[in-house]
Amino acid sequence: MALPALPAALPGLTDREAIADALHRAVLAFDHGDETLLLSAVTNDVTAEMSSSPPVSGISALKAAVFDRVAFGLDTTHFLSNIRVSVESGASTAQVSCSALAQHVRKGKGFEPGPHKLTSGGMYLCDVVKEEASRLWKIKTWKAKIKHHSEKEQRSKGKAICRLKVLLFGIRVARSVAYIGMFLPRSKQLLHFQSCIEPHNDMAEQVAYIQELLGLIAQHTESRRTLYNACLVSHAFHEAFTPYLYKDLWWLSNKGFANLVNKNRHRSLLHENTAKHARTLAIKAPEDTTRTKKRRDQFHRKLSTAITEICQHGRCLRSFFCSGVLFTKQCLEAISRLPHLEQLIIIFHPPGNLSSEADYSRAWDHLAFANLRELTLLELYGTMDNWRDPILQIILRSPNLEHLGLSMSENHVSFACIAEQYKHRQGHKLRLKILRLGPRISVPDNLHELVDLSILRELSVRAVEYAVLSRLIAYGAVVVMLGVAVQSLVSFQLANISHTWIHYDGHHVGL
C-alpha cells in the first residue's frame, strides 16, 4: 500500500526549516510520484542542471525530461543530508546545498535478483525564492552533480568497454548466423554460448542480462521450439523471449487444432496471460466431410468461442487471418473491437445446411470494422446486396486503407457497385495501393474514374468470362498470355502499377 505524502505547507517552520523543506518536497515528489508536491517545490520557470543531461528550463520541460521518466518508471528513495542554508533575515531569496543519496529500482523489481538496482550519490546546489501567494519557498535553480554510482551497477571503464564489445559481438552473431535459428536449437546450446566466454565469468553474467542483445536474438529466432526452450533458461531469458514466442498465433494445419477447440487447453493459454503478446492470429479450419451436421455445428461453435476469447485477451492484435470458419455474432463483434487491428483477411465458409444455420448466415450484419490498412474478404456467399453496405462502411471508416481484396462464391457482380457508392459519399476516387478482385467480381469499363490510378501499384483481377477480357483489351495496352502477344490491354494510366495480373481460366497473364 502506498503511503501518502504530508501536505506541502507544514505549520511552525522557521525560514531555514522551510527552505530545507523545499528540497525535501522536491525529492519526495519523485519517491511518491506526486506531481502536486513537485509543483509546490519548484517555480514555473525552474532551471535544472543534472549530470550527463542537458539543462532544462520550465516546469513542463523538467517533467518531460526527468520527473515523468523517474517518478513513474522507477521506484526511488532519496535521502538528503548535510543541509546548509544561506539566507539573510527577512529576505525572499536564499541558497541551499546538501549531500544526496538516491536508490533507484526498476518498477516492481525491488525484491528480485538481477541488475535492477542503482544507487547514486552527489551534491545539490539550489537557488530558492519565497512565493508571495502561497508563502512557500520554492526551488528556482537546481544543480545536481552526481559523483558516484554503486559498484555493482557502474563497472570500471575497462569492464564497460568489455560489455560493449560483448554486445556488439552478439549483434553481429544475431544478424549473420542464419537469423539465430541454427544458433539456438536447444536451451543447452544457449548455455553453451555462455560457456564460450566462461573464462570471463562476469562478462558471461552481463551477457545474460543484456536485454537489448536477448531481444535482438529473440527478434530473429523463427523456430517456436527454439523460442520455447529459450524461455526456460532463466528469468531474464523468459522476459525477453516470451513476447516473441506468442507474437504469432497460427493454427494453419490439422495439427494443434485439438488444443484450439478444447476449452480447457485454449483457456490455459489465456490463463498464462500470453495472449497479450499476440500481434497476429491466423486460423485455417480443417475440412472434414465425415462429420455429421450436429458435430460440424459443435466444431464451429467451439472454434468461434475460442477466437472470441483470444480476441478479448489479445488486445494488441494487428493482423487477423481466418479461413473456413463459420462466425457467430459474438465472435465477429469481438474481432471488430480489437483497437489496433490493421489487417483483416477472411475467407468465408458458406453456412450450408447446419443444424443452427441461423446463427451463422448473416455475417454481413456484424462487420463493424474501422481503421484498417488491409481488407480482404473472399468467397462472399449470397448476393452482393447483403455485403455492399457493410463493406462500404468499413472502407469509409478506414481512411488509411491501402489494400482491398474481394471475391464472391456464387453470384457475379461488378466492382463498380462499391466504388461508385464510395465516390458518391466521399467525393473522390478510391485511393488504394493494391486492388485484388477475385472470382465473380468483374472490372468495370470506367475503373479509371473510380480508382486513383496514380496511387495504385498493383491490380490483380480474375476474369471468368471472355467478355471481360475482351473489354479490357479494348483499352490499348499490351499483354502476354501463355507466350502469345495479345494486343491492347488496359492503357488507362498504368505507368505507376508495378505489376498487374489477369488470372484467366487458371492461367496467369501479366500486364
Reading the chain (511 residues) residue by residue, the pLDDT tens digits are: 578 889 999 999 999 999 999 999 999 999 999 999 999 999 999 999 987 678 899 999 898 888 888 888 888 999 999 999 999 988 999 999 999 999 988 888 777 776 678 888 999 999 999 998 889 999 999 999 987 766 444 444 444 444 444 445 554 554 444 344 444 444 444 444 444 444 444 444 455 456 777 887 888 887 888 888 888 777 778 888 888 888 888 887 766 666 677 766 666 666 556 788 889 988 888 776 556 777 777 888 888 888 888 888 888 899 999 888 888 888 888 999 999 999 999 988 776 655 444 456 577 888 889 999 999 998 888 888 888 899 999 999 999 999 999 988 877 888 888 889 998 888 888 999 888 887 788 777 777 788 887 887 777 775 434 444 444 444 333 332 323 333 333 333 334 444 444 444 443 333 3
Residue 224: the pLDDT is 80
Looking at the DSSP assignment, which residues form a beta bridge with residue 97? 84, 125
Integer Cα distance of 310 and 315 in angstroms: 9
Residue 268: the pLDDT is 62
Angle at 40 between CA 36 and CA 45, to 5 degrees: 105
Q: What is the pTM of this model?
A: 0.54
User: Which is nearest to 268 in space by CA: 299, 252, 246?
Assistant: 246
Residue 1: the pLDDT is 54
Instruction: Say if CB 141 and CB 47 are below 8 A apart.
Output: yes
- Identity of residue 282: A
Q: What DSSP state is assigned to residue 430?
A: B
Instruction: Say if CB 282 and CB 317 are below 8 A apart.
Output: no
- Domain borders along the chain are 15-149, 157-238
Distances in whole angstroms, Cα of residue 402 to Cα of each of 391, 443, 505, 511: 15, 18, 28, 21
Residue 376: the pLDDT is 92
Question: 466: which 3 cell numbers?
Answer: 471472355
The number of residues making up the chain comes to 511
Integer Cα distance of 332 and 211 in angstroms: 38
- Contacts of 368 by beta carbon, 8 Å cutoff, 6+ apart: 333, 336
Helix ranges (DSSP H) in 33-135:
35-41, 59-62, 68-71
Distances in whole angstroms, Cα of residue 381 to Cα of each of 213, 289, 352, 422, 505: 49, 19, 10, 22, 21
Paired sense of beta strands 441-442 and 374-380, if any: unpaired
Fold of 15-149: Nuclear Transport Factor 2; Chain: A, (3.10.450)
- Strands annotated E in 179-298: 248-251, 280-284
User: Which is nearest to 350 in space by CA: 394, 300, 298?
Assistant: 300
**Dihedral, 256, 259, 262, 264 alpha carbons, nearest 10:** 180
Distances in whole angstroms, Cα of residue 214 to Cα of each of 159, 165, 238: 20, 15, 10
Instruction: Say if CB 406 and CB 438 are below 8 A apart.
Output: yes
Integer Cα distance of 74 and 341 in angstroms: 31
